[in-house]
Amino acid sequence: MTPDVIVRRDGAAGILSLNRPRAIHALTLPMVRAMTDALLAWQDDPAITAVIIDHAVAPDGDPKLSRGFCAGGDIALLRGSALEDGGAAGRDFFFHEYRLNHLLFTYAKPVVAFMDGITMGGGVGISQPARWRVATAKTRLAMPETGIGLFPDVGGGWYLSRLEGRLGQYLALTGARLDGAECLWAGLATHYLDDSALAKAKAQIAAGESVGAALDALSATPGPAPIAAHADDIARHFIHDNLAETLASLARDPGSFAQATLATLATRSPFSCAVSLLQLATSLALPDFAANMAMEYRIGGRMIVRPDFAEGVRAVIVDKDNAPRWNPASAADVAPAELDAIFAPLPHQEEWTPL
């Protein structure tokens, strides 16, 4: 049976190829463990000079099975855990997934992630820590968690809060998808490659060529980034760290972009949006990525047992009626004390720690 992560060596490169095509390579705990084990084994191996993270191509060549880099984490596990064991299995998944995220962020050897296709949630978590991040014409990057009662975790607080022009707050709340050109424009990708150059780039890295040099030589110039046309609107409306103020700002603007954004936010969990804004604001004051991950672990373990998560997954993934009944139902009903409780420290023995 083919493993869900293909771990192999090719010359000077250690390669991690995600291989759950029918689930768009969504991460499971065994996949997280396999990637972590490989990275730990390679970090002191002088024969490995770089690490490539990509997705395997479906053996039958079906393009529908090769449409994503990684669609996220194991939502079925998280929902089952919330309903059956009080979130214990979900917290265990987060603990190890966040350790993988941190290991990639601090890895001494160059890591390159080929975000060729859908890159969401957990896929962002294993690509954004990489020193080199390659976008393509098929890239669709998003953090859509507020639509299922969660928040942009896996380091989202760190990456999104540090984007210019409050773009991160916009992405966190709306779950908007960015294409490859937009990822390059925003700084979420370091390079843009045409499909025809991907195999050559990987071969050159495996041959021992500098990752940066290989990608620089093969880089293409994408078309315009559509999101750039709305940069001023985003910066103006998402300047607030308060959800009610953000909604009010959008409501005062009769423009089509503001009204479409307001309509999108009406479908998102108000509590999740409020958590996300506080998460990003808090992250900016943290000393390092480990502190960010400890914060997100506190949030994550609590968010999966709130009613909005089970309801969001029901509405979007299970019943697919796209009519979630959020609790609380509006920004005005989000209680500050309940919000603060989501971020409160855990007992010392339960806190997240890096490897």
Active site residues: 73, 122, 145, 153
Q: Helix 167-174 vs helix 243-251: angle between axes, to the nearest 10 degrees?
A: 90
Using an 8 Å Cβ cutoff, are 165 and 300 in contact? no
Q: How many CB atoms are located within 10 Å of the residue 30 CB? A: 12
For 80, half-sphere exposure in the C-beta direction (CA atoms, 13 angstrom radius) is 6
Pick from 85, 77, 13: nearest CA to 51: 13
Q: Strand 13-18 to strand 68-70: parallel, antiparallel, or no bridges (unpaired)?
A: unpaired
At 87, phi and psi to the nearest 5?
Answer: 90, 5
Q: What is the largest CA-CA distance in the chain?
A: 59
At 128, phi and psi to the nearest 5?
Answer: -65, -30
Distance, CA of 189 to CA of 313 (rounded, Å) = 29
Strand partners, 178: 141
List strand residue ranges (DSSP E) for 56-158, in order: 68-70, 111-115, 118-120, 132-135, 140-142
Phi-psi region of 95 (alpha: psi -120 to 50; beta: other; left: phi over 0): alpha
Distance, CA of 250 to CA of 105 (rounded, Å) = 35
Contacts of 82 (CB under 8 A, 6+ apart): 90, 304, 305, 309, 310
Q: Three-class SS string for 2-16?
A: CCCEEEEEECCEEEE
Q: Strand 13-18 to strand 5-10: parallel, antiparallel, or no bridges (unpaired)?
A: antiparallel
Residue listed under structure tokens 């991160």: 168
Strand partners, 118: 68, 140
